[in-house]
Amino acid sequence: MKYILQKLGFYLVAFWAALTVNFFLPRLLPGNPVDIMLSRLAQRGPVSPEAREAVELMLGTNTDAPLVVQYWQYLGKLFSFDLGTSVAYFPASVTDIIGQTLPWTIGLIGIATVISFVIGVTLGTLAGWKRGSWLDNLIPVTTMLQSVPYFWLALILLFVLGGMWQIFPINGGDNVYETNPGWGWDFIGSVIYYGTLPALTIVISSVGGWMLGMRNMMVSTLSDDYILTAEAKGLRPMRIMTTYAARNAVLPSVAGFAISLGFVVAGSIVTEAVFSYPGIGSALLNAVGNNDYSLMQGLFLVITLSVLGANLLVDLLYSFIDPRTRARS
Amino acid sequence: MTATTQDPGVAAASARSSRPKRALPPLTPKLLIGLVIAGSIILFGILGPFFVGDPRAVNNVGLAGPAEGYLLGTTQTGQDVFAQLAYATRGSLTVGLIVGVLTLFLSAFFGIVGAYFGGWLDESFSLFSNVMLVIPGLPLVIIISSYVPEKSLLLVAVVLSITGWAGSARVLRGFTLSVRNRDYVAAARVSGERPLRILGVEILPNLVPLLASQVVFAVIFAILGEAGLSFLGLGAADSFTWGTMLYFAQNGLALRLGAWWWFVPPGLLIALFGAALALINFSIDEIINPRLRSQTRASRKTWKISKSELHAAKESVL
Amino acid sequence: MSSMSSGSKRLGLAAAAMLSIATLTLTGCAGGGGASNEGDGSESTSVTVFNGATGTIAENFNPFSSTALQPTLGVIFESLFWYNAASDEPPTPLLAESFEWNEGGTELTITTREGVQWSDGEPFTANDVAFTFNLVNETPELNTTGLAATAEATDDTTVVLTFEENSFMQEPSVLGNRGIVPEHIWQDVADPITEINSNPVGTGPFKVSTFSAQSYLLEKNDLYWEEGKPAIDEVRYISLDSADAATGALLAGDVDWMSSFLPGLEQILADNETLSYVNTPALTASIFTCSNEELGCEGPQTDPAVRQAIYQGIDREQLNALAGGGFAGTASPTLVLPERDSEWIVDPENSETPTNANVEEASRILEEAGWVEGSDGIREKDGERLSLGIQTVTGYSDFISLNDAMSQQLREVGIELNPTAITYNEWINNLNIGQFQLTLESIGLQPSNNPYYSYEKWYNSENTTPVGESALNNNTGRYSNPVVDEALAVARATNDEDVQKEQYGIIQDEIVEDMPYIPIYINSLLTEFNTARATGWPTNEDPYALAATWKSWDNGIVLKNITPAE
């Protein structure tokens, strides 16, 4: 119990540190949202010199409060879940933007990451168990797939499967022409259909990593003496593989899995750029492009929470699976 | 204490790992292929730029296919793709090298040292790693580069290292924690070995395969990360790397215009180089742990003791 | 030990369950694939527009808001008049029928159109117009045009705007750049700044049907005042993240109207009979120079001779072929559009830029100014090398190509260019605070075709600032010339075009000599159409509106004039 409390305290500190970084980082970016909005406006039509003052007033950016004061205001607002107003999507609130983009990202990238992990670890276990088998020899191939630049592979698949053969739709998250968001089957069906190709590209390019990592650990674990003992005791190979070897070998993979789950949000940027997917990654790119501090902070907060949460989970899980990590001498 | 020293398995493990075999590896086909591919690409990156023309030189033959004079055709503005590829190879390898080295040092330091010594050191290192983990790399790249007028390769490499080592450190820490509490480490500690020696001799060898694969991944991650950043328009756009080449090819709609000679080679080189590194990695882990290599499941099957022997063994234990 | 093994079993089961879910999902996807998509069986005509929107879409149909969704202006709400940016014609009456200034330019009398209805059935009157302008005048947050006028409806079809000072030059922004809102709705809006107006009531040819964060649909406004228009039933707006995605959507028939620069356009459209495009160059790609030493600019470009030499030394034909896709138009050193605005160019000598590099002339200019060739071929003067940094944005691949090609061309005359590509934010910031030697930028569209707006914005010394302070997207070249300032003041005080033209002649002679903004060419403005569902898009022969999908106001004109395909 003391261990868990210690952990929780530790994560609180990490969370605070991350919040502080999140506050200061966007403010160090060059430029300011007003200039950017003005130049965007100028692309649509003429903008008079007076526009600047109007935009400043509208966005409330001509604040002269010192940074420290802004910092306390920021922390205070966070605890009342007020993430502020987006500049790029003014007057929409940051919470709204996150609300309408996050489900897409979690749905697509989250599921794809889980699928990839499960397939990768399973295949890696088998490959490590039977070294030299065809599966083991497949590893260089899957590793090669993992070394292919993701967007390159995705663009080629998109071009071939979406453009040339037209098996899959080429952009978007759902069929906007015929369905409206809701819980109807036609909408959900179109979301699944539109998500298949992006998910497929993610799985193809990431499964090799899980497979190789698991296989390496499996091989290394299999040489431990307790495996030999288990063999000597005449235990069924299946039992040795799952209960004795894989269970211990999977530890680093689980840690990696938590980290990658935490980075589902941050890692979605490229995927969403390729497939014009309406998720949080493209919102982040837009926020960065518009110096939209509030939206960036809101998105950072989501990223921070997911990464820290995933890590905390792993720490607790570790202490459960492997009591040795709990013991401190 | 007596129990640990009497345990033959632990003693053997400790003895073996304190004298890891450093002999050159047998030249397996995997290793050979990996070395040849990686070597050729590295050679191309080092020597190639000396033999090609100016990669920026424009001319009026835009989007010409591979033909005489242009080994890999030309870009939209008539630049020589092959010349660009040579410079790009050099650029990407530089990024990979810098990130590989930096990640190795940073992750080993913060992951292994912290986890081994435990206590406040571990807590603060781990805290630092976690904070580094949650800083989104993308805005960090933009901020740091905004302070540097010219976004160079070095800058991109350093930023990728800063944002990339923490994951490795986390993985290493997890495993070190597990190794640290194994019996033979405890035995070494009790028998009075110096902490640094235990770390270097008892623990590190167990971590080497993991470290090696982390470095390999760091290099691949760096090259892929650079490519990804460039694809989003956030890379060192003034330098030639595989990533910036792909970026310009994609912006020029190379794929749709059928200009495969512009879009395919950089991606293919990245994939080939990554795969070659992975092949080498397979062999590295066999060099470090020769017993792993011999102890395949197949060979272990031959060790099976007969039922009577097993019976005898059980009786003697009882 | 037993708890551990049961734990691992649970994990194993969970993993197995995940795997089966995964395979189910995958097969489910493949099965669902064939059924959906396709099938436009309905009778109504629907066109899809991609207007450059990326990522998620936030609902905002407030015509006063700077972040309003683009069709808000022109398609849903209308202005009093409409200024065609594509041709040289007088403003077209929309919600107004005529206007008249008093002598001193302080009173503008507008006669509004009769028989117009709001999309909720209420009648439109001069009161709505007066309400709209008073709301802007009283709310500084909404006043992006610097309006300083009070409005009064003297009867149902007449409204009078009273300005504090001579305001002839406010004319296009008042008449052509302000969406009129219904008083009976907006008088109850609590905060017009943050209002998103999700169910907008306007006079435009279309009204909002459905909205989602991925796409929104507009439907025909049956009460629209112009007989027989619009002819199509629905307009859908979608969001795409890249030119490649847009190309794919166009080829797949998912988009009917978009404006993207697509390299190799002819080749891409070659196999599709229903796809076509129009090129209406409108924005002048120029090299902006930090020209004024007195305001803190540093570097060789502060010497007008260097700017002239660059102007003469670049080969625009090659630049167009390599970077402009062959679609660029010829620019004018006076920075007006030579074709559309030829009547505003006073001295015919100044009408067009040279086509090819004039290396001899450029070298002569530099020699005379004291720049002599150094050992490495780059010129020098008093120990200063003729080496210049030139900035552009990382994403602008055509500008990056321009920089590559110009570096090569200018080396011939002994000028070294050092191109850098930086993020948009950093670039716009550098431009505004004068932290550049040369930078690539486009001279944009102005409220009307009168060159006053360009000259005022880019050449008036009142609109610039010392290096280090933001020039607010105006005179970023830090140009300062009393002769130009004086001529602008005279032109501003009158609406007599002949007097104005005389002043513009003075300005043009000065700026052609000083060249703080060096024109390269007029950037192509490519718009792609699919004629399978609708026809009657603007063409070069009939430029009835600027075809670009991102251009507010002109959009409404295009959408109400296109007709369903046979």
- The stretch C420-432 carries a mean pLDDT of 83
> What is the tens place of the pLDDT at every residue in C85-110?
888 888 999 999 999 999 889 999 99
Say what the pLDDT of residue C350 is.
87
> What is the tens place of the pLDDT at every residue in C213-244?
889 999 999 999 998 889 999 999 998 888 88
Contacts of C55 (CB under 8 A, 6+ apart): A101, A272, A278, A282, A283, A285, A286, C239, C241
Tell whether B317 is covered by a domain: no
Contact A306, A264 (CB under 8 A): yes
Please report which confidence band the pLDDT of residue C16 belongs to, taking 50, 70 and 90 as the band edges: very low
Say what the pLDDT of residue A278 is.
85
Please report which confidence band the pLDDT of residue B184 belongs to, taking 50, 70 and 90 as the band edges: confident
Question: In the complex, which subunits touch C with 3 or more CB pairs below 8 angstroms?
Answer: A, B
Say what the pLDDT of residue A325 is.
61
The secondary structure of chain B as a DSSP string is -HHHHH-HHHHHHHHHHHS---PPPP--HHHHHHHHHHHHHHHHHHHHHHHS--TT---S-TTPPSBTTBTT-B-TT--BHHHHHHHHHHHHHHHHHHHHHHHHHHHIIIIIIHHHH-HHHHHHHHHHHHHHHHS-HHHHHHHHHHHSSS--HHHHHHHHHHHHHHHHHHHHHHHHHHHHTSHHHHHHHHTT--HHHIIIIIIHHHHHHHHHHHHHHHHHHHHHHHHHHHHTT-S-TTS--HHHHHHHHHHTTTTTTT-HHHHHHHHHHHHHHHHHHHHHHHHHHHHH-HHHHH--HHHHHTTPPPHHHHHHHHHHH-
Name the helix (H) or strand (E) containing C82.
strand C81-82
Burial of A267 (0-12, 13-18, 19+ CB in 10 A): buried
Asked whether the beta carbons of residue A91 and residue C425 sit closer than 8 angstroms, the reply is no
- C-alpha span between B118 and B141 (Å, rounded): 32
Least confident of B113-122, C281-290, C354-363: B113-122
DSSP A241: I
- C-alpha span between B61 and B77 (Å, rounded): 7
Asked whether the beta carbons of residue B246 and residue A300 sit closer than 8 angstroms, the reply is no
Tell whether B177 is covered by a domain: yes
Asked whether the beta carbons of residue C420 and residue B248 sit closer than 8 angstroms, the reply is no
Please report which confidence band the pLDDT of residue A61 belongs to, taking 50, 70 and 90 as the band edges: low
Please report which confidence band the pLDDT of residue C123 belongs to, taking 50, 70 and 90 as the band edges: very high
pLDDT score of C17 more than 60: no
Residues 12 to 31 of A: which have CB under 8 A from any C CB? 29-31
Say what the pLDDT of residue B122 is.
84
**Shortest distance, CA C462 to any CA of chain A (angstroms):** 11
Q: Which one is predicted more confidently, A154 or A30?
A: A154
Percent of chain C with pLDDT over 90: 57
Q: Which one is predicted more confidently, B123 or C531?
A: C531
- C-alpha span between A193 and C28 (Å, rounded): 9
Q: How many residues in chain A?
A: 329
Please report which confidence band the pLDDT of residue C29 belongs to, taking 50, 70 and 90 as the band edges: very low
CATH number at residue B256: 1.10.3720.10
Highest average pLDDT, of A222-226, B109-113, B126-130, comes from B109-113
Considering only CB atoms, which chain A residues are within 8 Å of B206? 220
Search chain A and give the residue with CA nearest B182: A324
> What is the tens place of the pLDDT at every residue in A243-301?
888 887 887 787 778 767 766 766 677 888 888 888 888 888 788 777 777 888 888 78
Contact C523, C283 (CB under 8 A): yes
Q: Which one is predicted more confidently, A67 or C309?
A: C309
Say what the pLDDT of residue C19 is.
35
Strands C283-289 and C517-523: antiparallel
- Structure tokens belonging to residue C81: 């008049």
- The stretch C154-161 carries a mean pLDDT of 94
Please report which confidence band the pLDDT of residue B311 belongs to, taking 50, 70 and 90 as the band edges: low
Find the angle CA(C261)-CA(C264)-CA(C267) to the nearest 5 degrees: 125
Say what the pLDDT of residue B20 is.
43
Q: Which of B58, B251, B255 sits opposite C322 (nearest CB)?
A: B58
> What is the tens place of the pLDDT at every residue in C262-273?
888 888 888 888
Average pLDDT, chain C: 86
CB neighbourhood size of C23 (10 A)? 12
ipTM beyond cut 0.90: no
- Structure tokens belonging to residue C98: 């005529």
Cβ–Cβ pairs < 8 A, chains A and B: 194
Q: Which of B174, B181, B246 sits opposite A252 (nearest CB)?
A: B174
Asked whether the beta carbons of residue B217 and residue A10 sit closer than 8 angstroms, the reply is no
Q: Which CATH number fits domain C6-63+204-279+526-564: 1.10.1040.10, 1.10.940.10, 3.50.50.60, 3.40.190.10?
A: 3.40.190.10
pLDDT score of B265 more than 90: yes
| Count of domains forming chain B | 1
- The stretch A74-93 carries a mean pLDDT of 81
**Shortest distance, CA C427 to any CA of chain A (angstroms):** 8
Please report which confidence band the pLDDT of residue C3 belongs to, taking 50, 70 and 90 as the band edges: very low
Residues 61 to 80 of C: which have CB under 8 A from any A CB? 65-67, 70, 73
Average pLDDT, chain B: 76
pLDDT score of B289 more than 60: no
Question: What residues make up the domain containing B185?
Answer: 39-54+70-286
Percent of chain A with pLDDT over 70: 88
Please report which confidence band the pLDDT of residue A46 belongs to, taking 50, 70 and 90 as the band edges: low
Asked whether the beta carbons of residue C400 and residue B237 sit closer than 8 angstroms, the reply is yes
> What is the tens place of the pLDDT at every residue in A142-167?
877 777 888 888 889 988 888 788 88
Interface residue B273 vs chain A (CB under 8 A): yes
Say what the pLDDT of residue A322 is.
67
Asked whether the beta carbons of residue B77 and residue C268 sit closer than 8 angstroms, the reply is no
Considering only CB atoms, which chain C residues are within 8 Å of B226? none
Interface residue B250 vs chain C (CB under 8 A): yes
**Residue C479, CA atoms < 13 Å, CB-side half-sphere:** 28
Q: Which one is predicted more confidently, C351 or C38?
A: C351
**Shortest distance, CA A271 to any CA of chain C (angstroms):** 11
Say what the pLDDT of residue C116 is.
94
Sign of torsion over alpha carbons A304, A306, A312, A314? negative
pLDDT score of C27 more than 50: no
pLDDT score of B293 more than 90: no
Please report which confidence band the pLDDT of residue C208 belongs to, taking 50, 70 and 90 as the band edges: very high
Say what the pLDDT of residue B10 is.
34
Interface residue B4 vs chain A (CB under 8 A): no
Say what the pLDDT of residue B1 is.
30
> What is the tens place of the pLDDT at every residue in C355-404?
999 999 999 999 999 999 988 889 999 989 999 999 988 778 788 889 98
Tell whether B12 is covered by a domain: no
- Structure tokens belonging to residue C491: 């032109």
**Shortest distance, CA B247 to any CA of chain C (angstroms):** 9
Say what the pLDDT of residue A208 is.
83
Q: Which one is predicted more confidently, A265 or C209?
A: C209
Instruction: Say which CATH topology domain C81-186 has.
Output: Dipeptide-binding Protein; domain 1 (3.90.76)
Kindly list the domain boundaries of chain C, sorted by start residue: 6-63+204-279+526-564, 81-186, 283-523
Asked whether the beta carbons of residue A17 and residue B174 sit closer than 8 angstroms, the reply is no
Please report which confidence band the pLDDT of residue B24 belongs to, taking 50, 70 and 90 as the band edges: low
The secondary structure of C251-298 as a DSSP string is HTTS-SEE----TTHHHHHTT-TTEEEEE---EEEEEEE---GGGT--
Search chain A and give the residue with CA nearest C240: A276
Tell whether B303 is covered by a domain: no
A163 phi and psi angles, rounded to 5 deg: -85, -50
Strands of C158-163's sheet, edge to edge?
C96-101, C107-112, C158-163, C149-155
pLDDT score of C32 more than 60: no
Contacts of B120 (CB under 8 A, 6+ apart): none
Please report, for residues B279, B302, B310, C462, the alpha-carbon distance to residue B307 in angstroms, rounded to integers and kept in the order given: 41, 14, 5, 101
Highest average pLDDT, of A294-303, B12-21, B88-97, comes from B88-97
- pTM score, two decimals? 0.82
pLDDT score of A18 more than 50: yes
Tell whether B203 is covered by a domain: yes
Average pLDDT, chain A: 79
Tell me the CATH class for C283-523. alpha beta
Give the residue from C375, C364, C371, C367 showing the smallest Cα distance to C388.
C371
Tell whether B308 is covered by a domain: no
Tell whether B113 is covered by a domain: yes
Please report which confidence band the pLDDT of residue C495 belongs to, taking 50, 70 and 90 as the band edges: confident
Q: Which one is predicted more confidently, C265 or C562?
A: C562
pLDDT score of C22 more than 80: no
Question: Which parts of A185-279 fold into alpha helices (H)?
Answer: 185-222, 225-232, 237-239, 247-262, 268-275
Contact C246, C258 (CB under 8 A): yes
- C-alpha span between C303 and C77 (Å, rounded): 48
Give the residue from A282, A34, A61, A26 showing the smallest Cα distance to C66.
A34
Tell whether B311 is covered by a domain: no
Interface residue A202 vs chain C (CB under 8 A): no
